[in-house]
């Protein structure tokens, strides 16, 4: 499920000439990093959307000074005493040191274009954005917070899937978060899922696909099974653009693909239309 | 082949099982010590082609079974069987994976690996059961959801996700029985239950041991697969300890495939006991109890700790 996590490249390369230049996976051209960054980390030549850090995502999405983080102290244990080439706690600690955070998601409340929302941003650089007990717990608590406070929920997804190192407990987080989203639905508050590159496996098969509206960034990889697994088990020839956001839009799985430059304004518009502001809850129509 | 160590181990086990089956004392409460059998051996038992499948348990435990077909969207998926029938005196709804036994049947049922259609057929039955107040019994027996082009095109991820949310809100008793291999999201789409029963040799995991080994060690040799099976803590006793499973249901000595009626009796007894308990709860309390059960999954392993170099955000 979390097959991409081992290859999870750190979003911010540390030091050296790498820092100044960035090679675009879209057009393979080398661009000046500063220029790409000024363009919201979208390639000025081909429009390729580079992955963002959590900090970058928050900066370009929320109203300045509106962030209040929630549940930031939740940290994972080692329920399986999992050990491959290294013990799981060591892998966790390394990711924690690199990111300055406990796990692969940040949760909090913020305003987007003036509209309050409960917001989660997944961190692909943290063990491939994989969902273990902490990611599940934080997103479920955030969604419950939205339901009880009458807030909209917005989740930026970026994950290779469930975290193998926490075994079946990771799997169960899929249901835990789905349950919280059911309560949010009952509370008549909207949930916007924003699928970023990549959103696959157990995260795709739970909250990523359960948005009242499912949005995606252009070119994001989105799917349940990994491409390699499909090729190996079925010998099928996979079409051009398989599991891209555009492929999912064409097959009816997304509401819209929103370029990064328009994401903030789009979220603001949708939160306004769906009554993201508090106190506008309508009574259910009597049957 | 006949001299491979696995085959020899298995042959010895089968012989032991046969001996035990002929011994009336073995009928009584037996307990295979968890340490006596390795994780990979359990995986092999869970995958044994002659192990009883959903329709075998339906035959032994359910009267007047009426099978329900189709998702009303695209197709009827043979990898999942669904229907209505009587368990004891009560009408119930049944949903389960069916791997199939003959080569032809296995191909028709896609080895129990469902496409989105199967999960959407299941969803129809979940909803019906909840509205009619029928207890829902599911049987989990799949390596996972079908990985394929058609499955992706028709929304495999969405089909599973929708079932998780739907199962959580059902206002009727739900019991999931893991009878073979419970593989990742494809298993969980039948697994959001008030009570999760695991047969003694069943497994439940976020990923197959083969998949895990391929990712962690980038090789799929038998030793690495065995290591992965052990590391994943996928056995019934392990999952009971992790509070994923609620009860481990004993199997006949040597495994359920050696005496399916015996295995069905044990499973039936556990189902009866758990259903009787759940039927005392009101519809909304059944939903809340299920939500609470899943909210608690893994929560005991999460602690409050400030990371040292925490970076301020926003
Ligand atoms: Zn480019």
B289 touching A (Cβ < 8 Å) = no
For chain B, positions 161-190, list CB contacts with chain A under 8 A.
Answer: 161-162, 164-165, 167-169, 184-185, 188
Cβ A168–B239 below 8 Å, yes or no?
yes
Mean predicted confidence (pLDDT) in A170-189: 98
Structure confidence at residue B13 as a pLDDT band (50, 70, 90) = very low
Chain A contacts of B194, Cβ < 8 Å?
A: none
pLDDT tens per residue across span B116-146: 999 999 999 999 999 999 999 999 999 999 9
- CB-neighbour burial class of residue B156 (10 A; exposed 0-12, middle 13-18, buried 19+): buried
Chain A contacts of B138, Cβ < 8 Å?
A: none
The ipTM estimated for the assembled molecules is 0.92
Structure tokens at A190: 């909207």
Structure tokens at B226: 């065995």
Cβ B160–A65 below 8 Å, yes or no?
no
B309 touching A (Cβ < 8 Å) = yes
Whether the per-residue pLDDT at B213 is higher than 50: the answer is yes
B293 touching A (Cβ < 8 Å) = no
Whether the per-residue pLDDT at A105 is higher than 60: the answer is yes
pLDDT the model gives residue B314 = 65
Distance, CA A21 to ligand 1 centroid (Å)?
13
- CB-neighbour burial class of residue A270 (10 A; exposed 0-12, middle 13-18, buried 19+): buried
How do the residues of chain A divide into helix, strand and coil, expressed in percent and rounded to 5?
40, 20, 40
pLDDT the model gives residue B216 = 84
Q: Please tell me the distance from the alpha carbon of residue B146 to that of residue B298, in angstroms, as a whole number.
A: 27
Whether the per-residue pLDDT at A233 is higher than 50: the answer is yes
Structure confidence at residue B11 as a pLDDT band (50, 70, 90) = very low
Lowest mean pLDDT: which of A274-278, B26-30, B235-239, B286-290? B26-30
pLDDT the model gives residue A18 = 62
Question: What phi, psi does A161 have (nearest 5°)?
Answer: 130, -155
Neighbours of A91 (CB within 10 A): 16
Average pLDDT, chain B: 90
CB B245 within 8 Å of CB B194? no
pLDDT tens per residue across span B87-99: 999 999 999 999 9
For chain B, positions 104-133, list CB contacts with chain A under 8 A.
Answer: none
Domain count, chain A: 1
Specify the DSSP class assigned to residue A281. P
Cβ A175–B153 below 8 Å, yes or no?
no
B28 touching A (Cβ < 8 Å) = no
Q: Which domain holds residue A208?
A: 5-10+52-273
pLDDT the model gives residue A69 = 97
pLDDT the model gives residue B219 = 75
Choose among A170, A229, A251: nearest Cβ to B206: A170
B34-289: which CATH architecture?
Alpha-Beta Complex (3.90)
Mean predicted confidence (pLDDT) in A69-97: 95
Assigned domain for A63 exists: yes
Lowest mean pLDDT: which of B1-5, B154-158, B252-256? B1-5
Residue B31 C-alpha from the chain's centroid: 21
Choose among B169, B192, B302: nearest Cβ to A133: B302
Dihedral, CA atoms, A212, A218, A220, A224, nearest 10 degrees?
Answer: 40
Whether the per-residue pLDDT at B30 is higher than 50: the answer is no
Contacts of A94 (CB under 8 A, 6+ apart): none
What are the beta bridge partners of residue A115? A112
Chain B contacts of A209, Cβ < 8 Å?
A: 155, 157-158, 161-162
pLDDT the model gives residue B34 = 47
Cβ B205–A73 below 8 Å, yes or no?
no
Q: Which residue of A has its CA nearest to B204?
A: A168
Mutate to test the interface with A, among B116, B161, B193 (most CBs of A within 10 A): B161
Assigned domain for A283 exists: no
Whether the per-residue pLDDT at B10 is higher than 90: the answer is no
Q: What is the CATH number of the domain that holds A186?
A: 3.90.226.10
- pLDDT over 70 for what percent of chain A? 90
Cβ A178–B164 below 8 Å, yes or no?
yes
Token pair 């926490």 is found at A166
pLDDT tens per residue across span B220-272: 789 999 999 999 999 999 999 999 999 999 999 999 999 999 999 999 999 99
By DSSP bridging, strand A213-216 and strand A222-223 are unpaired
A154 touching B (Cβ < 8 Å) = no
Assigned domain for A282 exists: no
Question: What phi, psi does B235 have (nearest 5°)?
Answer: -80, 160
Q: Please tell me the distance from the alpha carbon of residue B286 to that of residue B233, in angstroms, as a whole number.
A: 29
Distance, CA B308 to ligand 1 centroid (Å)?
37
Distance in angstroms between the alpha carbons of the first and the last residue of chain A: 43
CB B94 within 8 Å of CB B86? no
Whether the per-residue pLDDT at A1 is higher than 70: the answer is no
Dihedral, CA atoms, B268, B270, B276, B278, nearest 10 degrees?
Answer: -120
A160 touching B (Cβ < 8 Å) = no
Distance in angstroms between the alpha carbons of the first and the last residue of chain B: 62
| Sign of the torsion angle spanned by Cα atoms A204, A70, A132, B243 | negative
A12 touching B (Cβ < 8 Å) = no
Q: Please tell me the distance from the alpha carbon of residue A120 to that of residue B180, in angstroms, as a whole number.
A: 36
Lowest mean pLDDT: which of A162-166, A277-281, B9-13? B9-13
pLDDT the model gives residue A85 = 84
């Amino acid at each position: 499920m979390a097959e991409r996590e081992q290859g999870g490249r750190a979003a911010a390369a540390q030091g050296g000439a790498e820092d100044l230049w960035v090679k675009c996976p879209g057009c393979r051209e080398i661009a000046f990093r500063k220029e790409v960054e000024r363009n919201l980390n979208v390639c000025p030549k081909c429009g390729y959307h580079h992955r963002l850090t959590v900090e970058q995502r928050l900066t370009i999405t929320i109203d300045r000074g509106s962030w209040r983080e929630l549940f930031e102290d939740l940290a994972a244990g080692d329920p399986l005493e999992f050990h491959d080439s290294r013990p799981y706690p060591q892998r966790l600690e390394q990711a924690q040191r690199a990111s300055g955070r406990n796990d692969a998601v940040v949760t909090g409340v913020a305003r987007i274009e003036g509209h309050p929302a409960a917001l989660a941003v997944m961190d692909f650089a943290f063990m491939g954005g994989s969902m273990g007990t902490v990611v599940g717990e934080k997103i479920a608590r955030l969604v419950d917070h939205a339901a009880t406070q009458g807030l909209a929920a917005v989740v930026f997804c970026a994950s290779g899937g469930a975290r193998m190192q926490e075994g079946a407990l990771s799997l169960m987080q899929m249901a835990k978060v789905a349950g919280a989203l059911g309560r949010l639905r009952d509370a008549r508050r909207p949930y916007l899922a924003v699928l970023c590159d990549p959103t696959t496996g157990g995260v795709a098969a739970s909250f990523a696909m359960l948005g009242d509206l499912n949005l995606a960034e252009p070119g994001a990889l989105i799917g349940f099974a990994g491409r390699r697994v499909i090729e190996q088990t079925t010998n099928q020839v996979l079409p051009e653009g398989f599991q891209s956001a555009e492929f999912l839009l064409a097959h009816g799985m997304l509401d819209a693909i929103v370029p990064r430059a328009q994401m903030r304004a789009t979220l603001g518009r949708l939160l306004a239309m769906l009554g993201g502001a508090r106190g506008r809850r309508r009574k259910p129509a009597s049957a | 082949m006949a001299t491979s160590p696995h085959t020899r181990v298995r042959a010895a086990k089968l012989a032991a099982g046969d001996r035990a089956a002929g011994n009336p004392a073995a009928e009584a409460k037996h307990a295979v010590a968890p340490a006596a059998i390795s994780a990979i051996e359990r995986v092999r038992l869970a995958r044994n082609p002659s192990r009883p499948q959903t329709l075998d348990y339906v035959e032994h435990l359910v009267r007047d079974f009426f099978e329900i077909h189709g998702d009303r969207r695209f197709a009827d998926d043979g990898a999942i069987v669904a229907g209505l029938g009587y368990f004891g005196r009560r009408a119930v709804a049944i949903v389960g994976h069916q791997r199939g036994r003959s080569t032809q049947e296995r191909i028709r049922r896609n080895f129990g690996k469902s496409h989105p259609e199967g999960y959407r057929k299941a969803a129809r039955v979940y909803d019906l059961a909840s509205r009619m107040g029928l207890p829902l019994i599911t049987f989990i027996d799949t390596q996972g959801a079908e990985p394929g082009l058609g499955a992706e095109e028709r929304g495999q991820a969405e089909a599973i996700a929708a079932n998780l949310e739907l199962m959580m809100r059902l206002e009727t008793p739900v019991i999931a029985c893991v009878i073979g291999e419970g593989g990742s999201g494809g298993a969980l789409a039948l697994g959001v239950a008030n009570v999760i029963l695991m047969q003694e040799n069943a497994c439940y995991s976020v990923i197959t041991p083969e998949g895990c080994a391929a990712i962690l060690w980038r090789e799929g040799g038998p030793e690495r697969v065995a290591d992965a099976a052990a590391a994943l803590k996928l056995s019934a006793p392990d999952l009971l300890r992790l509070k994923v499973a609620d009860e481990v249901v004993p199997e006949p000595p040597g495994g359920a495939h050696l005496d399916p009626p015996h295995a069905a009796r044990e499973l039936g007894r556990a189902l009866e006991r758990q259903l009787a308990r759940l039927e005392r709860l009101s519809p909304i309390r059944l939903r809340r109890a299920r939500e609470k059960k899943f909210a608690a999954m893994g929560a005991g392993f999460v602690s409050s700790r400030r990371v040292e170099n925490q970076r301020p955000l926003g």
